[in-house]
Structure 1
Amino acid sequence: MRLQLFSDLHFETESFDPQPAPGAELLVLAGDIDAGWTALERFAHWPVPVLMVAGNHEFDGRELDQAWPALRAHCAALGIRLLEQEALILTAADGQRVRFVGTVRWSDFDGLGIAQRPRAMRAAGYFLRLMGSTRSGVAIDAELMRTEALACRRWLEDELHRPNPGAAAGGWDTTVVITHFAPSLKSADPRFGRQPGTASFCNA
C-alpha cells in the first residue's frame, strides 16, 4: 500500500498547503497537526482515506478525559479515522490486507537509558507546564506522561503479539505501526543531539 504521511505540521503556528501525493492510497496524519483542531478540516475531502493518531499538542490546554471523545467525534465528522490503542485492517490496491496499529505512545523518558530518566523528566517539566493539559483534573507532568506512555506500550506489545489467523481468515498480510512519539532516538532530529530534553520525543 502506498502511503502519504504528514506529521508535526503545527498549523496553529505554521503555514503549509498540503496536497495529495500522486498514487497514494492512504493519508496518515501522525500527530501534532493542529493544537486548535480547526486545520483538520483541510483533510475532510481528501481523495483517499485518512488515518490519524493524536500528538501531544492536540491536547494543549485540554482535559484529556474530555478531549479524547471530543477529538474522536471531530475527526469522525470530517471523515478522518482516529486511532488510539486501536487496530484497523484495510485492503490495498494489490489485494494485500494491511493492519494499521495506532497510538500516541507518549514518552517514557528512557531514550537515554534508565539512569538518565530523572534528568530527562526534569527537562520535560517546563514544556509540560506550557502544554497545560490535565487528566482527571490533575496537571500532566512527566510522571503522569510516563504512566500514559507505559500503558500505550503495553497495549502495543500485546497487539503486535496477537496471533494472525491469516488474511484469508480475516487476518493481515503486513502491519504498519503509527505513533506520534518515536520508538527510539534514532528518529530524533540530529540538530537536537543526545541531550535530556531529546528523550521527551520517544518511548524507548
Structure 2
Amino acid sequence: MKLQILSDLHLETEAFEPEPAPGAELLVLVGDVDSTWAGLERFRGWPVPVLYIAGNHEFDGRELSQAWPALRERCEQLGLTMLERETRVLTDAQGRRIRFVATIRWSDLALFGPLSSAAQRERVLRSAEYFMRVMRSTRNGVPFDAAGVREEALACRAWLAAELAQTTQDWDTTVAITHYAPSLRSADPRYGSQPGTASFCNADDDLLAGAALWIHGHLHARQDYRVTHPDGRSTRVVCNARGHARKGEAEGFDGTLTVDA
C-alpha cells in the first residue's frame, strides 16, 4: 500500500496547501496539523481514506478529557478516521492486509534511562515543564504537567507493546504510527542528546521489531532510516514533518512524499 505522510503542518500559523500525492492509497496525518482544528477541514473529501493521529498541539489550551471525544467527533464529521490506542486492518489494491497500530504515545521522559538519578530527573522534568506550559492544557481539571504527561505516556506504551506483541497473523504486515518518535535516532540534529529531547523521543527501540514500518511526527526534522533486528528483519522509520517556515524547517519539505507499507 502506498502511503502519503504529512505531519506538523501547524496550519494555525503556516501557509501551506496540502495536495494529494499521485498513486497514494491512503493519507496518514501524524499530528500537529492545526492547534485550532480548523485546518482539518482541508482534508474533507480527500480522494483516498485518511488516518489521523493527534499531536500534542491539538490539545493546546484544552481539557484533555473533553478534547479527545470532541476531536473524534470533528474527525467523524470530516470523514477522517482518528485512531488513538486503536488498530485498523486495511486491504490494499493488491489484496495485502496491512495492520495500522496507532497512538499519540506521549513522551514518558525516560529517553536517557530510568529517572532514578535526582540530577537527571530534575533536568528532564524542568525541560518538560516548559513544553507543557506552552500547551496550557489541563487533565481532569488540573494542569497537564510533566507528571501527567508521563502517566499518559506509560499507558500509551503499555497498550502499544501489547498490541505489537500480538502473534495472530490476520494481516500481512504491520505499520506503527505515533506522534512522538520511537527512538533517539530520530532526534533533531540541531539539538541532539539534550534533556529537552526526552520530550520529543521515546526509548521504544525494543518495540520497533513489532512493525515493518514506523511512522512518527513531532520533530521538525525529516527522517528516513532503517533498523535491523537480530533475526534479520528490519523496521523502516519515517518522519515527514513540515515544521515552521520562519525557522527554515520547511525547506526541502515534500508534501507529496509516499512510502510503501
Aligned to 1:16: 16
Q: CA deviation at 1:77?
A: 0.5
Q: Count residues with an aligned counterpart.
A: 199
Aligned to 2:174: 175
Structure 1 unaligned blocks of 5 or more: none
> Are the counterparts in 2 of residues 149 and 203 from structure 1 also a CA contact under 8 Å?
no
Aligned to 2:74: 74
Q: Which amino acid aligns with 1:122?
A: R
Q: Distance in 2 between matches of 1:142 and 1:172?
A: 37
Aligned to 1:92: 92
Alignment map for 1:1-204 (pairs within 5 Å): 1-114=1-114, 115=117, 116-164=120-168, 166=169, 171-204=170-203
Deviations along 1:113-134, one digit per CA (max 9) or x if unpaired, are 2343431121111221121111
Q: CA deviation at 1:87?
A: 0.1
> Are the counterparts in 1 of residues 187 and 193 from structure 2 also a CA contact under 8 Å?
no
Q: TM-score, normalised by structure 1?
A: 0.95
Structure 2 unaligned blocks of 5 or more: 204-261
Q: Distance in 1 between matches of 2:125 and 2:3?
A: 34
SS at the partner of 2:47? coil
Q: Distance in 2 between matches of 1:81 and 1:48?
A: 12
Q: Distance in 2 between matches of 1:127 and 1:175?
A: 31
Q: TM-score, normalised by structure 2?
A: 0.74
After superposition, the CA RMSD in angstroms is 1.0
Q: CA deviation at 1:187?
A: 1.1
Deviations along 1:77-119, one digit per CA (max 9) or x if unpaired, are 1010000000000001111000001100000111222343431
Give every structure 1 segment of 4 or more consecutive aligned residues whose post-TM-superposition deviation is greater than 4 Å: none
> Are the counterparts in 1 of residues 182 and 201 from structure 2 also a CA contact under 8 Å?
yes
